[in-house]
Amino acid sequence: MANWVRFTSGDTSGFGILDADEIRVHEGCMFAGASPTGASLPLAQVQLDAPCRPSKIIALWNNFHALAAKLGVAEPAEPLYLLKAPTTAAAPGATVHRPSAYAGKTVYEGELGIVIGKTASNISEDEAGDFIFGYTIVNDITAADILNKDPTFPQWARAKGFDAYGPFGPAISTEPPPAGAHVRTVLNGAERQNYAIGDMIFPPHRLVALLSRDMTLLPGDLIACGTSLGVGTMKEPANEIEVSIEGLGTLRNRFVQ
């Protein structure tokens, strides 16, 4: 197992494998033929960036049995999703600001993320594992009041598309979360979400295969697998939010109104 990160140190950026409190620096392409440079950097001396640069971010809706039951909606026969702009990507530790043009409520959504490692088009579920580079943690932030602001058109892309409204990281783990893992979201010190990844309607391999039949998935693309029970509003002027998944660590960000 490897935990891949991207970082900035002074005026330079790079990537490597996180090993305890050090980053073993690599060169080349993270997804194809990366090789160690022999250099290491203390984690405390760098700033972590978002662990990859997705060409697209695919965000799932209604992908958990428990949430579908609570909402009283049918479980979908195929994945329901939207696309978030690549500019929604934000680094672990970043402060996310509510846009000045929006005064409504903003919600957190702690989620498992899948990072694609090889170009995938029309693949099978059995093949999907060969195309998954690894797994990460996502906070799919949403400007909730925009969704139904216009009664003629649900504005999913705009509500989830503001700059930095998609922090993810801190790393990409090449191993999936362990069996029985939960997504746990803590807002200002209080636990708000604690749900089982195994409750997914479309688990990762099936999800990647089905999405690849709709569009070509490219190395670095990020799939946010959807959230479950406990989504809520960030109400304070400044909010500290942590999303944790066993085996993947904790994504920490700040949201400022």
Kindly report, residue by residue over 169-184, the tens digit of the pLDDT: 999 999 999 999 999 9
Please choose, from the candidates 55, 80, 105, the residue with its C-alpha nearest in 3D space to the C-alpha of residue 217: 55
Average pLDDT over residues 109-117: 98
Spatial strand order in the sheet of 142-143: 142-143, 106-108, 232-233
- The pLDDT score that the predictor gives to residue 246 is 97
Q: Under 8 Å CB-to-CB from 152, ≥6 apart: which residues?
A: none
Percent of the chain with pLDDT over 90: 96
Fold held by 50-256: Fumarylacetoacetate hydrolase; domain 2 (3.90.850)
Q: Under 8 Å CB-to-CB from 174, ≥6 apart: which residues?
A: 1, 2, 3, 4, 133, 134
Q: Under 8 Å CB-to-CB from 235, ≥6 apart: which residues?
A: 105
**Residue 108 and residue 141 in contact, taking contact as beta carbons nearer than 8 Å:** yes
CA distance readout (Å), 1 to 96, 121, 129: 31, 26, 15
- The pLDDT score that the predictor gives to residue 94 is 98
Classify domain 1-48 by CATH number.
2.30.30
- The pLDDT score that the predictor gives to residue 1 is 87
3-class DSSP assignment, residue 134: strand
Q: How far is CA 213 from the centre of its chain?
A: 21
- The pLDDT score that the predictor gives to residue 175 is 97
pLDDT tens-digit series, residues 75-110? 999 999 999 999 999 999 999 999 998 999 999 999
3-class DSSP assignment, residue 214: helix
pLDDT band at 202, cuts 50/70/90? Answer: very high
- The pLDDT score that the predictor gives to residue 33 is 86
Phi, psi of 167 (to 5 degrees): -60, 145
Q: What is the rounded average pLDDT for all residues in the chain?
A: 97
pLDDT band at 239, cuts 50/70/90? Answer: very high
Domain ranges of the chain: 1-48, 50-256
70 exposure class (CB count in 10 Å sphere: 0-12, 13-18, 19+):
exposed
Which alpha helices (H) appear in the chain, and where do they start and end?
A: 65-71, 156-159, 204-214
- The pLDDT score that the predictor gives to residue 101 is 87
Q: What is the pTM of this model?
A: 0.97
